[in-house]
Amino acid sequence: MLYREAGQFKASYIEDQQIFPIRQDKIGFIAILAFFSLVVPMIASEYWLQAILIPVLIFSLAAIGLNILTGYAGQLSLGSAAFMAVGAFGAYNFMLRIDGMPFIAALILGGLCAALVGIAFGLPSLRIKGFYLAVATLAAQFFIVWALVKFPWFSNNSTSGVISAQKVEILGFAFDTPVSKYLLTLAVVAVFALLAKNLVRTTTGRSWMAVRDMDVAAEVIGIRPMRAKLSAFAVSSFYCGVAGALYAYTYLGTVEPEGFSLDLSFRILFMIIIGGVASIMGSFLGAAFIVLLPIFLNVAMHALFAGTMPAGLASNLELIIFGGLIIFFLIVEPHGLARLWQIGKEKLRLWPFPH
Amino acid sequence: MMNDMPQEAVQEQTRRIGDVVLDLQNISLSFGGVKALTNISFDVREHEIRSIIGPNGAGKSSMLNVINGVYHPQEGRILFRGEERRKMEPHVAAAQGIARTFQNIALFKGMSVLDNIMTGRNLKMKCGLLAHAMFWGPAQKEEIEHRKKVEEVIDFLEIQSIRKTPVGRLPYGLQKRVELGRALAAEPSLLLLDEPMAGMNVEEKQDMCRFILDVNDQFGTTIVLIEHDMGVVMDISDRVVVLDYGKKIGDGAPDEVKNNPEVIAAYLGTSH
Amino acid sequence: MQFFFEVLIGGLLSGVLYVLVALGFVLIYKASGVFNFAQGAMVFFAALTFVGFRELLPGLTGLDPEGALVFWMAFVLALGAMIVLGILTEKIVLRPLVNQPHITLFMATIGLTFLVEGIAQGIWGANVRGLSLGIADEPVEWIMDSANMLVSKFDLFAAALAGVLVASLALFFQYTKVGRALRAVADDHQAALSIGIPLQQIWAIVWAVAGFVALVAGLIWGARSGVQFALTFTALKALPVLILGGFTSVPGAIVGGLIIGASEKLAEVYIGPFVGGGIEGWFPYMLALAFLLVRPEGLFGERHIDRV
């Protein structure tokens, strides 16, 4: 009975166009944010912060990026990981080559590098659609990783392109503990998620969705497909780039180009399919799911076989479960976990009545 | 149908028809050897309702596609407000005040009615991507202002109750109405309607007729209409052009066209 | 110049492998409009299943592990597995997704890729296996003597096999009832359905045939470079092949495969040294990309006119 919108009247369009028009949603959101920024740092172990929460947040950001391109603008990409790599190496080089480069600026500049590369590889989208475009993004995936390995300048002449992230310091405060890194990641991801939510619910987002749903009609009402598609590529790659920079600076510390593999790109794609295509919320759910599943499987397998586990069983099972779930979600619930969440909310709105 | 709308018939006579706004001269269009349009000329005057009729496959939709730049004719000239256009892209046509609806509904299926109609305002919005991301100050103000305009369109088309429904869930007749709304939101000076009443029942048709006439009357919008329902066409059009197999076979006031032997042959003869 | 031709011929012959994978793509795309990303995984699955049975059978039956009988028994069993896999895929994955957007179907086949890889390795293990077809990968002597060029016997055999496969598929589709029905389906689903062609049966047949093609490709490819997980990635190069050749054209797949095979080898040899090598990994994709900008429908594809 707590979840009711009765009695909440909108007297102006501003009130009607909030992100959370229902009061309980807003309270819920603030409560969740407060929990993750205040309570979690106090109770979570180092393992949870380092191995679960930070990667979930980072992949959520990458998934938002891919969701902008694939979910909202309808352009399939299999190269998200490569754009993450551009962001990571971009930020690294800005930190390395410019004295006193503030970390946040390097993060954003890294994202901008990714955006430029994204635009370049998005150009073919003006002429081609669907899986043809997938090939363009595959080209990006293979070419970028190759270039980062082969041209030592990118990694400051290290062998096979491995880079070690510099220390993160903002206004004299060093982010060197798991908790501080977690909070930094959380802050960056929260801000960018909010900006993404704003983008997709205003003119920019509507023009993306219009091009996705019916490009000829979009053009006829004056949306320029070129601008819509390229802006989607730019924003999407920017998000992936920032996620990539965080991946290097607050998660792994040391990264190599080969780490940003096609497999990682697929994983990000799976996040949005399972989490929910064209949903910011879904990006978080999907990222959490995909990060947690292998960990859960590993724990479960160890508990089951206790040391006598057949080699590779967990990883094969992971492949099978991922593949199976993708097919399952596409068939049964193409809008993913986010849609299930929404259905749950709608039920709750009526509860305890059936209709 | 003739007797269904006496008021509109009266209004029709009081509207003033202006100068030629759109002049199509000797248009020919073909797709890899297949001729879709052959040497077609006609004009459209300000504030009039100009209908294009003809049997299936006569080239009516192709004609609209030529007008708003989806197709580029191989031959002929198109003058819009006295200026010749060459190879114009659809979004430029939109910027010049040409809006349209489609024969097979071309709504954005994944978006709500409100968002669909909001896309019609797209050209009038000036804020950039960064402003949208911040949703602060000007961007918010702009969004709200355009929302007001869109709400006017929603009121006009009497679709208030479905404004937040995803269009994919709406029945056919309402979808057609939303599509008209999206076109109207752009405040066009020239509105192209491709079979807006196809597949509708009598009540829905009457509603749609009323909207079309109201648009024409209240906003002075010039309308080019493709429609199969002869009753409607003869009733609301100022002038009618008849196509058959990509050729023009008749042009003039509804009564003239009705009595044109070639037109009668095309409709009753062997070709249909 | 001699070196150039040697590289060119080597490239063309390795292109044959791409042709074989691309054929499977084209068959399925033509019949059901699905871009089957999992074709590479199917190749891997086929090869692994064949090798697995070949290792398993001698122990069960006491037959000679190198003998022809074991070879053909393993072949038939693997073919059976491929047909079952194809039919199951059609029934479980694709049928519920009929009329969904292309992009959804495409993503479903990416899921299928993971599923098939997981199952294949789950059953047969993840080790790299050798596969011998009894044809040595050594230069043909008379070509070496007469033209002083190194051309592998194995590659020639693979090319001949591919030729036979393509020819028999062509005959099958041209002259059998099923083939005719399939071409009708490829042309227009609705129309084919309306004249009583059992659409789903045809799809099942196509998936089975694609499984057969995957098995042949898997055998040749496995014999060439070992049966391993990397097969699925190498098979991705069939994508640029299809872009060059057009998604619906069998001759296109052949020409495209040869072009990609030859050009990536030539590029590696002549451009590679200037940029640090290893460009084979991305060159086909870039080539396809450049090509897309010039001719989006491919060399042999049909130009598509959007109707509104």
pLDDT digits (tens, 9 = 90+) for B134-155: 887 788 899 999 999 999 999 9
Name the burial class of residue A40, with classes exposed (0-12), middle (13-18) and buried (19+) by CB atoms within 10 angstroms of its CB: middle
Same domain, B137 and B247: no
CB-CB under 8 Å, B61 with C308: yes
pLDDT for residue A20: 82
Q: For chain B, give the mean pLDDT.
A: 88
Rounded-to-5 percentages of helix, strand, coil across chain C: 75, 0, 20
Same domain, A29 and A154: no
CB-CB under 8 Å, B111 with A206: yes
A93 assigned to some structural domain: yes
Q: Which of B108, B127, B133 sits opposite A209 (nearest CB)?
A: B108
Q: Which of A74, A135, A316 sits opposite C289 (nearest CB)?
A: A135
Select the residue from A132, A154, A213, A215 to test the C interface by mutation, using most C Cβ atoms within 10 A: A132
Collect all residues from B whose CB is shorter than 8 A from any CB in A: 68, 70, 89-91, 93-95, 99-100, 102, 106-111, 115, 118-120, 122-123, 125, 127, 129, 132-135, 139-140, 143-144, 147-148, 151, 182-183, 186
Confidence class of residue C307 from pLDDT cuts 50, 70 and 90? low
Q: Examine the pLDDT at B108 and tell me if it is beyond 80.
A: yes
Q: Which of B31, B32, B102 sits opposite C308 (nearest CB)?
A: B102
CB-CB under 8 Å, A210 with B133: no
Q: Which residue has the higher pLDDT, A45 or C2?
A: A45
Confidence class of residue B7 from pLDDT cuts 50, 70 and 90? very low
Residue type, B60: K
Same domain, B216 and B147: no
Q: Which of C104, C114, C233 sits opposite A330 (nearest CB)?
A: C104
The model's pLDDT over C153-162, given as tens digits with 9 standing for 90+, comes to 888 888 898 8
What domain range is B116 assigned to?
110-187
Q: Which residue has the higher pLDDT, C18 or A117?
A: A117
Q: Report strand pairing: A163-164 vs A254-255.
A: antiparallel
Percent of chain A with pLDDT over 90: 72
**How far apart are alpha carbons B113 and B166 in whole angstroms?**
6
Name the minimum distance, in Å, from the CA of A235 to any CA of chain B: 9
Collect all residues from A whose CB is shorter than 8 A from any CB in C: 74, 76, 124, 127-128, 130-132, 134-136, 138-139, 142-143, 146, 149-151, 216-217, 262, 266, 269-270, 273, 311-313, 315-327, 330-331, 334
Residue B68 DSSP label: T
Same domain, A31 and A126: no
B104 assigned to some structural domain: no
Collect all residues from C whose CB is shorter than 8 A from any CB in B: 303, 305, 308
B194 assigned to some structural domain: yes
The chains in contact with chain A, meaning 3 or more Cβ pairs closer than 8 Å, are B, C
* A143 chain-C contacts, CB cut-off 8 A: 282, 285-286
Same domain, A335 and A231: yes
A355 assigned to some structural domain: no
Q: Which of B31, B32, B70 sits opposite C308 (nearest CB)?
A: B70
The model's pLDDT over A138-162, given as tens digits with 9 standing for 90+, comes to 999 999 999 999 999 999 998 788 9
Q: Examine the pLDDT at B56 and tell me if it is beyond 50.
A: yes
A14 assigned to some structural domain: no
Segment among A91-95, B121-125, B223-227, C224-228 with least mean pLDDT: C224-228
Confidence class of residue C242 from pLDDT cuts 50, 70 and 90? confident
Q: Which of A14, A17, A220 sits opposite B90 (nearest CB)?
A: A220
Q: Examine the pLDDT at B10 and tell me if it is beyond 70.
A: no
Same domain, A28 and A137: no
pLDDT for residue B271: 44
Residue A11 forms contact with B (CB below 8 Å): no
Domain count, chain A: 2
A17 assigned to some structural domain: no
pLDDT for residue C228: 85
Same domain, B179 and B206: no
The model's pLDDT over B158-171, given as tens digits with 9 standing for 90+, comes to 999 999 999 999 99
pLDDT for residue B33: 80
What domain range is C258 assigned to?
2-294
Confidence class of residue B5 from pLDDT cuts 50, 70 and 90? very low
Same domain, A37 and A67: no
pLDDT for residue B4: 45
Q: Examine the pLDDT at A131 and tell me if it is beyond 80.
A: no
C300 assigned to some structural domain: no
B102 assigned to some structural domain: no
Confidence class of residue B269 from pLDDT cuts 50, 70 and 90? low
First to last CA, chain C: 53
Among B187, B208, B228, identify where a domain stops: B187
Residue A224 forms contact with B (CB below 8 Å): yes
Q: Examine the pLDDT at B8 and tell me if it is beyond 70.
A: no
Segment among A206-210, C231-235, C289-293 with least mean pLDDT: C231-235
A10 C-beta neighbours (distance < 10 Å), count: 11
pLDDT mean over C102-110? 89
Q: Best-predicted range by mean pLDDT among A31-35, C15-19, C270-274?
A: A31-35
Collect all residues from B whose CB is shorter than 8 A from any CB in C: 31-32, 61, 65, 70, 102-104, 106
Counted across chains B and C, CB pairs separated by less than 8 A come out at 10
The model's pLDDT over A251-269, given as tens digits with 9 standing for 90+, comes to 999 999 999 999 999 999 9
pLDDT for residue B272: 42
pLDDT for residue A164: 94
Same domain, A118 and A148: yes
Segment among A290-294, B41-45, B260-264, C143-147 with least mean pLDDT: C143-147
Percent of chain B with pLDDT over 70: 93
Q: Which residue has the higher pLDDT, C182 or B205?
A: B205
pLDDT mean over A237-260? 97
Q: For chain C, give the mean pLDDT.
A: 86
The model's pLDDT over A56-110, given as tens digits with 9 standing for 90+, comes to 999 999 999 999 999 999 999 999 999 999 999 999 999 999 998 999 999 999 9
**How far apart are alpha carbons B209 and B197 in whole angstroms?**
8
**How far apart are alpha carbons A136 and C38 in whole angstroms?**
18
A243 assigned to some structural domain: yes
pLDDT for residue C200: 81
Q: Which residue has the higher pLDDT, C177 or B94?
A: B94
Q: Examine the pLDDT at A120 and tell me if it is beyond 50.
A: yes
Beta carbons of C199 and C248 less than 8 angstroms apart: no
Q: Examine the pLDDT at B85 and tell me if it is beyond 60.
A: yes
* C308 chain-B contacts, CB cut-off 8 A: 61, 65, 70, 102-104, 106
Q: Examine the pLDDT at B11 and tell me if it is beyond 60.
A: no
The model's pLDDT over C48-101, given as tens digits with 9 standing for 90+, comes to 999 999 999 888 887 787 788 999 999 999 999 999 999 899 889 988 998 788
Domain count, chain B: 2
C305 assigned to some structural domain: no
Percent of chain C with pLDDT over 90: 28
For residue A194, give the chain B residue with the closest CA.
Answer: B133
Q: Examine the pLDDT at A279 and tell me if it is beyond 80.
A: yes
pLDDT for residue B1: 38
What domain range is A100 assigned to?
48-350
Confidence class of residue B12 from pLDDT cuts 50, 70 and 90? very low
A332 assigned to some structural domain: yes
Q: Examine the pLDDT at A113 and tell me if it is beyond 50.
A: yes
Same domain, B127 and B261: no
pLDDT for residue B45: 95
Same domain, B182 and B192: no
C178 C-beta neighbours (distance < 10 Å), count: 15
Helices (H), A98-224: 103-122, 130-150, 178-200, 203-213, 215-220
Same domain, B227 and B92: yes
Same domain, B55 and B122: no
pLDDT for residue B270: 52
Confidence class of residue B15 from pLDDT cuts 50, 70 and 90? low
Strands (E), chain A: 163-164, 169-170, 173-174, 254-255
Domain count, chain C: 1
Same domain, A174 and A268: yes
Same domain, B142 and B21: no
Same domain, B9 and B81: yes
